[in-house]
Structure 1
Amino acid sequence: EANEYLARELMIVKVSAAANRRSEIMTIADITGAKVMDITLTTMTLELCDTYAHLCRFEEVIAPYGIIEMVRTGTIAIEKGSDTFNASK
């Protein structure tokens, strides 16, 4: 099908994570497919690779815990099927 793409974006986010809130953050990570990259006594760093819309929803859900740092790659995409991307299309 023409103009159908697979698109993804990577987000790495560091949130405040006091001991009494870590299980809640882990549950959110499990539900959303985020991976825990790092954990300290006061923070957790999570990685999530998904669509732009899913990352925006994840950010809304995780924001109340206190975002300390966040980086995003921007969207990358590739055409579905056997066709290849051609900028002149």
Structure 2
Amino acid sequence: MDRLHFLQFIAVHPLYRCRGIGAKLLDFAIAKAESHRVSLVRLHVQVSNGSAIQFYQKRGFVIAETTKNYYNRCIPADAYVMQKQLQM
């Protein structure tokens, strides 16, 4: 059975994007998950957030499913659940 870690929130202020900060934050979160012997990392991303989807895909995440009406104050409200299998 997979040990699951759900990444709740990661963000970089627009003025500081494209400087590798997001990648370092994600690398840190994944390293922490690996240190706790987690084998699967999952997260939600808004279906219309193409730049975030591309960011995660570039780092090995795949779209696993769609959650309808996940967001309360966003349009569209649907989210992709993206996941990355970690090496144990």
TM-score (ref. length: structure 1): 0.28
**TM-score, normalised relative to structure 2:** 0.28
Q: Which has the higher contact order (CA 8 A, sep 6+)?
A: 1
Q: Which has the higher strand share?
A: 1
